[in-house]
Amino acid sequence: MGCYCFSLTCVCVCVLGLRRKSALLEEQSQELRRAKERHALISTLTDKGGGYFLVGWRRELDPDGSMDVELKELDWHLRRLGLLELSARNIVGPSAESLTLEDLSKKDGDLVRRVREWIKEKFGSPADVWNVIDAKQTGSLDRAGWTSSCLAAGFDGTVEELHYLFQFVDIDEGGSINKEEILFLETDSQARDKAIFEEKMKSKGQVERLWASVYWSELHKGHSPLSRTAPRPWMAKAFEALPPLVIVQRQHRLREARRTQRQSKSKFLKFLREKYGSCARAWRRGIDPDGHFFADKLILRHFCRQHELDYQVHMPSLWTTLDSDSDGKISLQDISPLGAVALASFRAWCRKKCGSCRAVWSLPEMEKARASPQLSGDSRLISVKKMLIGHFVESLKALGWICSGDQAEMLSALDFFNAGFVSQADLYWLDTWEPPLFLISEPSEEAWNEVKHILLERYGSPLHAWRELDLDGQNEVSWTEFVAGCRRVRFKGDVGAAWRYIDNDASGYISMEEFSPDIYNVLMSFKQWASRLYGSVGNAFKNFDKEGNGTLTLHILRRCCQKGKWSGDAQELFQCVGPTSSRQDPSKKLITVEDVAFLDLWPDREKDDKVEDEESCGSPSPKSDSHPRLFKKPAPPPVPTSTARSTPKLARPETTSSLRKEQSAVLAASSPQKAAQIQRTYNCCRSLQRRGYQQRHHKYASKSKLPWLDKLHRLCHEAPMAFDSSKDRSDVSAEVPIGNLDTTGAPGQRGCRCSAFAFVGGQIGQDQLRMHDMRANASGSERFTGWEQPLLLKQHEDCPSAN
């Protein structure tokens, strides 16, 4: 029994030994087969790589540079290469799921590992090492440049190894390598994949910008649509969807919107001057007749619709350009800036001298001026309730008043009816106004220099200081934004005086051109150049940034500007928009796209268009004359000096002599601006007003279909007949036109709604004229010369609208 057990044990041991030996032999056989198959694969890859195994590895098996190949992918590559006798599982191994470069060729894998570890330890990433070896920033390196740069950077290897690595990196065999081709040397797989993806997207963006540039240039060459070189219509949609062209279209829409705003405001102000004589009077009489001194969007829309302006101007654009501070309401200074300055200055002078504007009316000097005869041409007026404009100004100057603003605009606001006189009610209206602080402040250069010094000391440069004030980036800072900026820097001085000094045209907002003209010219020159070549400043920055890291150095910016033939100073531009830290090395300073992209929001220079708008409106530029003077109203044509009892000799409302006198008054002005101001302030263009009045009344008469209204309209505007003394007095009234009588004594102008009160009945004769004369003499407060003046001025006093 014991022998049997011993024999059985020996047999088992022998069997196990044989099995172990057989397994060992089988494993050795597998290793030999694996080595043989790997050698065959290496030979094939070396042939495919032109004698370089690493080139064949990356070209055939690992184009992404991950340094490994998965089992299924390797099996597919073997069948693609025609190596059907080779087994992917046998090459990889029984337990592995991928084949690495070091497993297939330890020598070559060790070389690549050494390079990757050198880059990781000394530089951090392949992108950083590229910035070092590409010292000239050419964007590519040849074999000699690669070898010398790596040895100079401290790589521990031979020249042959660097040549071999150059072939490994230069996958396209172009004879040079770039930044994108060395990104696969990153050891971290996630960082490598991210870097490769960003580089591919950057290349895609460059291609899209190239397509957009070519399409844009071909589109503006003016080729015929039938030309062989013209862009095809069916490709326009695809090209215009490119991001660079989308940016260009957005900039075009912004420019069109600003142009619409400017034109809408120009047409609106032109209408106000034509209808009311001045913008200040238009505000008081048309827009804000109740004296609230503000108007919201609904009120403005109602006013425009009432005067049929909603068909001529774009209401959203008009409101946007008038409401510059975006507070939801507009004021007198938004409609008539210079008029608001003059009115605020006059109001401040009155309150300082007498406590209120109404108190000035009761001064002994003013009462004396009203008690004496007031001459207006060939007519005289003595009234305790009214003062002619000229006498009013002379009395104020005698009291020590000095106008600081547009005097004609101020007086037109006080002359409510455009009748040439001022009453106590006009001064009461001015008392109810509470102007903003900056309107009643005197300009102070010292205050402005103090504010600017604090801003520059805190933010470092004028541009950075301006961007802290202009938070929305529209290159416009309103009074509210300026006050908020002064509070942030804790300015304790006179904010209103500083604002009045910088806002010298009383526009209600300031721009970078007023804050720092030199830097503004540099920035706008660069913006215009970049927009012309690349469509926008942001798109130009992306074209300059070849590396795609979102930053630019001074060297790159200067080279790109010189290549694009920009005439400006690139260093000055870089200092304007770049960081302001003095501790940082100037050669290492960088600018980002956010530092220059804000220029796309700034409006373009449109000075020529603004001049055209001002000329079309018939008003001089506000900056052309900072202290306009009062111009006397042209003298009316002479009237008979006989009393109302004598027979009046009627004449045509516009004779050749009167027109000549008006023309001579306009030509006598010392400058075209003064002549335009005469036309605007005193409403001398009567033919246009009469024509518009006839058209409006003709339209109303045709709509209502009332024969008597149409007949009255024709009676009012037909030329008057010569007066015949042989006719009966009762027929005189039928020959007197309504349009010949008004409160100013000048034909063709209506001062108030009561100018035709006595003509509705159709009978006014000499007895009625005599009756008005007797009433005027009996009152004792008014005495006139001239047969029509008692009727007109008395009728104006009795008019409800005048009270």
Domain ranges of the chain: 2-104, 108-187, 246-276+295-330, 337-439, 445-503, 517-601, 656-802
Residue 654: per-residue pLDDT: 40
CB 527, CB 541: distance < 8 Å: no
Residues 431 and 425: their CA atoms lie apart, in Å, by 10
Fold of domain 108-187: Recoverin; domain 1 (1.10.238)
- Asked, colleague to colleague, whether 108-187 and 337-439 share their fold, the answer is yes
Residues 147 and 143: their CA atoms lie apart, in Å, by 6
Residue 39: per-residue pLDDT: 84
Residues 164 and 217: their CA atoms lie apart, in Å, by 44
Residue 791: per-residue pLDDT: 35
CB 268, CB 295: distance < 8 Å: no
In this prediction the pTM is: 0.53
Rounded (10°) angle between helices 445-459 and 495-502: 90
**Looking at domain 337-439, which of 1.10.287, 1.10.238, 1.20.1050, 2.60.40 is its CATH number?**
1.10.238
Two structure tokens written together for 443: 């300009």
Q: Would you give the DSSP letter of residue 534?
A: H
Two structure tokens written together for 509: 């907002």
Residues 314 and 318: their CA atoms lie apart, in Å, by 6
Average pLDDT, consecutive stretches of 10 residues, N- to C-terminus, the chain (803 residues): 63 69 73 83 85 83 78 84 83 82 83 83 80 78 85 83 82 76 69 61 58 62 68 59 62 81 92 92 92 92 91 90 86 90 90 89 87 72 82 88 83 88 90 89 90 90 90 87 90 90 84 90 89 79 78 87 86 83 63 86 66 43 36 39 37 41 46 58 49 53 50 53 41 37 38 37 39 41 38 40 39
CB 519, CB 463: distance < 8 Å: yes
Instruction: Report the relative pairing of strands 386-388 and 421-423 from DSSP bridges.
Output: antiparallel
**Looking at domain 517-601, which of 1.10.3470, 1.20.1260, 3.30.200, 1.10.238 is its CATH number?**
1.10.238
Residue 770: per-residue pLDDT: 41
Reduce the DSSP state of residue 716 to 3 states and report it: helix
Q: In the chain, how long is the greatest CA-to-CA distance?
A: 178
